[in-house]
Structure 1
Amino acid sequence: MGLFSRPSPDDDAPPAPTPVGAFWGWWADDGRHLDPAQAGPEHAALDGLLSAIDPDLTWHLGPGRSAEHRLTVSAGGLAAARPAAERWFRAAPPADTTWEYAPAVEADPAAFGAVLEVDGAAVDLSAVVLHVETDLEDLRVHVGVHHPAFADLPERVHGPVTFMVLDWALGEDDVARWVGRVEPSTTATASPRSVDDLRAAVAVCAAERDPDAWSALSGQDAEGRPVFALARTGARWIDRPTLDLHHALTATFAPDERGLPSPGDLGRLQALDDSLAATMEPRGLVLANVTTNGTRTLHVYTDGEDQNAADDVTRWADDHGLRAASTPDPGWTRVRHLLG
């Protein structure tokens, strides 16, 4: 090769759009002209373009609140797909008089006047009966869903119908935010509750929650050694759905006979906690630290598509002598046992 080379024509070509960019480019040219009431080639194109973003995404066309139509893209309750729906939504054009957009199914009280056809049977949603149990310690509402038709419908459809009921009652994101245990039931509860009762229970939890609240936790590991944790128990992954990359940063110290730090080491570890929070927030979120057996592990989440944030975490860990391990974790499963 000569000292000076001529760039190939491809060197000046613009980069290929991301799947999200490809979707919104198509939407601007063609998609926004589709007829929501009539299937056509645009509907098939919409399927393919959303599948390229994430194969678990689904979509729905319906009336908007302030626009004529709404395009909803949903993760279907799957935490792994919710970041993709959020990134799709954040790249959307501003709503106008014709179209608005949503990254999750929103509550629809009118749905409870509808009759669904499920596996060949008519399911009148006005006959839904709920069991509602509020857990104020974890700020969760545990729900049982009963419909008389469950007795005759195959068990495989009970779950999907149950989650449709919850989505229409609360909206997909509030189901993730507030609902704990969910159980379809073929028998009516002894204390029947309505959809309005469920919403009221969620409102109580919402009024009690401080998103920035921290709690001190303690327990033992499998060998009986003490474990102490400090966790941001007011946080919910659904409030920051694109923070889907988990970083575990581990510091070591000389443990006492119980595996815990001396007062001097405790001050050093606290300084690490403060330094990490100052470095990463608001681009990332420190959710917990766990201290046991000569180690303190700090748990922080960043946006998996923000390489700069991930680099900042790695650089901070290197500068402070901590081991770092990063793993994709939409839904914050690695710390959920700490958050409640």
Structure 2
Amino acid sequence: MDQQREAIGAFWGWWDGIRAKLAAAIDAGAVDPFIESLSTQVHAISSRLSWELGAGREARYQLCVTAEGDAEGRIITERWLAAAPDSDDAWEYVAARQPHETPDLLVSIGDVELDLAEFYFAAYIDEPCEVIDLCVFHPVFAEVEADGDQRAMATFLYLEQLLGEDGVARWLGFVDIYTEPFADEAIDGQGLREVVKALQARASGEHWITLRGDVDGQPGELEANVAIKRIDHLLLDTRIELSIMLEDDIEGMPPAEEAEALRAIEAEVLGAAGEHVVLLARETHGGQRILHLHAAADGPALAAIDAVVEAHDDRAIGVDTEYDPTWEQLAAWREEIRAAREAPG
């Protein structure tokens, strides 16, 4: 982490010395002398990253450093952006590919050319998870190699042009690629943008779903926020498990008064850590309540949580941490919950 921060600092120090020259070179159509050094500086931060120069939305030019859809790499680009200088008339900075106002018309896959206007989608909204599951069809897919990689590359290239790199991560769930037309009502790229816009307008980022079952022969319960998006909390890379032993339980579950006390401790934790922590789930079984939180490893949340735990020295409370930059645990629960909702009965 420290080495990465040093590389980010070195990048911006180097950039300060060349950004005016690079802008002038773009004006003159003579960027080639800068390409190798820019690649070297970006790859010194991480080999996961790539860079692009383009027209800015507010400045004349835009520097994009992208992780190419890599989840852990996207955290690095966010740290890179957090250290960036303010935008000015010449330059603005983004940590992911932005939507194209007018997507490209043609994309080549090997010897095959795809007309992007011929992409069609069937969109199914998962309201609790606040994502859109997609079926994707293009008539040329039948001519593309059957391994599917090239089809997927073309599909996500177009989706990133429509929604932006972060928009794809934020709003899309399952993406299934078809080589034959599907029977469901199809929409084009602009139609997909409208579906996403409508979902965005009503999304809250908070929808709690409860799963109940048996754990080692006793009742168990999981409450998870299936609508929260990792892309909105990129720097919260560490999972914190706060295990609170119940002082009173019925078959491992808290009665009403104990449940109220647990909620009070939860409120204290969230109040103390504030915006530096998010609560993903509550897990209750076997005489304990486990709060699953995420925070930045180098942020103030862990110290704030430890202070709350120390203030409750009359209770048995454990704190465990694990580096989980892609929120794997929540992703697994989300899939479990989605499967349970779709199961018959």
The bucket for the TM-score relative to the shorter chain is: 0.7 to 0.9
Query: Structure 2-normalised TM-score?
Result: 0.85
Partner amino acid for 1:26? W
Partner AA of 1:243 in structure 2: L
Mapped partners of 1:214, 1:198: distance in 2? 23
Partner of 2:39: 47
Query: Unaligned regions of 5+ residues in structure 2, if any?
Result: 339-345
Does structure 1 retain, via aligned residues, the 8 Å contact 2:211–2:221?
A: yes
Report the residue type matching 1:207 in the other structure.
A
Given candidates 302, 316, 324, the residue that maps to 2:319 is 324
What is the rounded CA distance, in whole Å, between the counterparts of 2:279 and 2:266 in structure 1?
9
SS in 2 for 1:189: coil
CA distance in 1, matches of 2:174, 2:111: 28
1:22 lines up with 2:10 in the alignment: yes
Deviation at 1:223, TM superposition (A): 4.2
| Pairwise CA distance, 1:21 | 0.6
Where does residue 206 of structure 1 map in the other structure? Answer: 200
Contact conserved, 2:128 with 2:226, CA < 8 A, in 1?
A: no
Which runs of structure 2 are paired with 1:264-275 in the superposition (5 Å)?
A: 264-275=257-268
Alignment of 1:102-113 (within 5 A): 102-112=94-104
Specify whether residues 297 and 109 from structure 1 end up closer, same or farther in structure 2 by C-alpha distance, changes over 3 A only.
same
Q: Which residue of 2 aligns with 1:142?
A: 133
Distance 1:20 1:141 in 2: 35
How far, CA to CA, are the matches of 2:218 and 2:268 in structure 1? 28
Equivalent pair of 1:216/1:231 in contact (CA under 8 Å): yes
Note closer, same or farther for the CA distance 1:272–1:75 as it changes in structure 2 (3 Å cut): same
From 140, 158, 177, give the equivalent of 2:170.
177
What is the rounded CA distance, in whole Å, between the counterparts of 1:30 and 1:322 in structure 2? Answer: 53
2: CA distance, partners of 1:319 / 1:76: 45
Q: Is the 8 A contact 1:130 1:189 kept in 2?
A: no
Give 1:104 deviation, angstroms: 0.9
Q: 1:220 to 1:38 in 2, by over 3 A?
A: farther
Residue pairs, 1:103-252, within 5 angstroms: 103-112=95-104, 114-154=105-145, 155-190=148-183, 191-211=185-205, 213-221=206-214, 223=216, 225-252=218-245
Q: 2-side partners of 1:266 and 1:76: how far apart?
A: 44
- Measure how far apart 1:311 and its partner are: 3.3
User: Which residue does 1:63 correspond to in 2?
Assistant: 55
- CA 1:221/1:72 → structure 2, altered by over 3 Å: closer, same or farther? farther
Q: Distance in 2 between matches of 1:207 and 1:127?
A: 27
**Runs of 5+ unmatched residues, structure 1:** 1-14
- Render the CA deviation track for 1:155-190: whole Å, top value 9, x for unaligned: 221111111111111111111111010112211222
Mapped contact 2:129–2:227 kept (Cα < 8 A): no
CA contact (8 A) 2:132 2:173 kept: yes
Q: Is the 8 A contact 1:70 1:99 kept in 2?
A: yes
Paired letter, 1:82: R
Give 1:316 shift: 3.7
Which amino acid in 2 is paired with 1:117?
A: S
SS in 1 for 2:253: coil
Which of 275, 295, 304 is residue 297 of structure 2 equivalent to?
304
The one-letter amino acid paired with 2:140 is A
Deviations 1:253-303, CA, capped at 9 Å, x for gaps: 256453201333222211210110011111222222211121111111112
Distance 1:27 1:266, change over 3 A: same
Distance 2:142 2:106 in 1: 17
Contact 2:134–2:173 (Cα < 8 Å) also in 1: yes
Per-residue Cα deviation, 1:54-92 (whole angstroms, up to 9, x for no partner): 321221111111122111111222221111111111211
CA separation of 1:264 and 1:17: change in aligned 2, threshold 3 A: closer
Name the SS for the 2:102 alignment partner: helix
Q: Tell me the SS of whatever aligns to 2:44.
A: helix
Corresponding position: 1:89 with 2:89:
no
- TM-superposed deviation, 1:224: 5.5
Q: 2:60, 2:90 within 8 Å by CA — same for their partners in 1?
A: yes
What letter corresponds to residue 154 of structure 2 in structure 1?
V
Q: Is the 8 A contact 1:61 1:72 kept in 2?
A: yes
Give the alignment's TM-score, normalised by structure 1: 0.86
Q: Aligned pair count?
A: 323
Tell me the residue number matched to 1:5.
Answer: none
Comparing 308-317 with 271-280, greater Cα deviation is found at: 308-317
CA deviation profile, 1:177-224 (whole Å, cap 9, x unmatched): 11010112211222321112212222232222223x352513224646
How far off is 1:319 after superposition?
4.6
Partners of 1:54 and 1:243 lie apart in 2 by 19
Q: Return closer, same or farther for 1:309/1:62 CA change in 2, 3 Å cut-off.
A: same
> Alignment partner of 1:202: what SS?
helix
Secondary structure at the residue paired with 1:30? helix
CA spacing shift, 1:310–1:42, aligned 2, 3 Å: farther
Task: Please state how far the C-alpha of 1:139 moved relative to its aligned partner.
Answer: 1.6
Identity value in percent: 28
